Each structure stands twice: as structure tokens, then as C-alpha cells.
Amino acid sequence: MKSLFLKRLLPAMALVIAASAIALAQPNNGGPGADPDPDPTNTPIDGGVSLLLAGGVAYGVKHLRARRKKV
């Protein structure tokens, strides 16, 4: 029982405590009393979405060609 505590539970508890200390150290960027950012940064998603769509099409075409060769 003592070796289980020392080998498994104690390191796990130390990891959880360390992670919670890091999580509490994050800055407060919002909340009920915070002023919203007057000029929010817009993130373009067009490039990433089009690349994912092209990859999906290529993947589908590959599987269709493999299915035709199999038959």
C-alpha cells in the first residue's frame, strides 16, 4: 500500500496541484467589469477551410479509385 502511494498517487497529486497553480496564474482578460477590446483582431479562416476541403476531396478520390481497382 505504501509503495502504491509513493509510486502512483503522490506524483499524480503533485501534477494536479502544479497544473492548478499554473491555471490560476492566467491573466483576467474578461469578466463582468472588464471593458471589451475596442478593436478586436479578426482571424481569417478562408485559407484553412479551403485546404481542409481540398484534402477531403483528395482523400475521397483516392478511396474511390482504390475501390474501383478492387472490383
Kindly report each contact of residues 13-21 with a partner whose C-beta sits within 8 Å and lies 24 or more positions away, as own/partner: none
pLDDT band at 65 (very low <50, low <70, confident <90, very high): very high
Residue 51 contacts residue 59 (beta carbons within 8 Å): no
What's 18-41 look like in SS3? Answer: HHHHHHHCCCCCCCCCCCCCCCCC
pLDDT at 48: 78
Task: Read off the DSSP letter of residue 6.
Answer: I
Separation of alpha carbons 40 and 15, rounded Å:
35
Structure confidence by residue, pLDDT tens digits, 9-52: 888 888 888 887 777 655 656 666 666 666 666 666 677 788 88
What mean pLDDT do residues 48-62 have?
90
